[in-house]
Structure 1
């Protein structure tokens, strides 16, 4: 087991944030003892983007989304996520 430093007590979140911006956590945490966790209810951060699509493609996507009774944006995200997942598993 590695020797780690004691994590200081912080007065507030801003002080803690400033501390971790300047310090390496490996000096304070034995990451070899860390466990993997699943957080299925954690909502991922999102970022708005502008995506230009040919009108015909967008209309086709909207028709397909309508058949599935879902918003077309959700269908696009699902298709993109599936494609990226498949690409990484190849």
Structure 2
């Protein structure tokens, strides 16, 4: 069944006007106007990284470097991996 309604140009609307439109209308009435999208899409763009300065004891830095050397990684990468792993685990526990 073809819908005869056309979607308005949302670029010319405020967010409030768009919300009012969807409060009064159903997406079903505009089925022919919308495109199907893949909801399983994962953004593959690299994340923007930033530099931080972190003061640690020299002995701790040396221990990290030894572990990183055993793993064949730069010590900065190892620290990043540990931070990410810890944050991910905290998120799961919350």
- Tell me the SS of whatever aligns to 1:74: helix
- Tell me the SS of whatever aligns to 1:48: coil
CA deviation after TM superposition for structure 1 residue 36, in Å = 5.4
Check conservation: 2:10, 2:18, Cα contact below 8 A: no
Q: Is 1:38 the equivalent of 2:42?
A: yes
Runs of 4+ aligned residues of structure 1 deviating over 6 Å after TM superposition are none
State the Cα RMSD in Å.
3.2
Q: Name the structure where helix makes up a greater proportion of residues.
A: 2
Q: Is 1:54 the equivalent of 2:57?
A: yes
**TM-score normalised according to structure 2 size:** 0.60
The number of residues matched between the two structures is: 71
CA deviation after TM superposition for structure 1 residue 66, in Å = 0.3
Structure 2: give runs of 5+ residues left out of the alignment: 1-6, 28-35
Report the equivalent of 1:72. Answer: 75
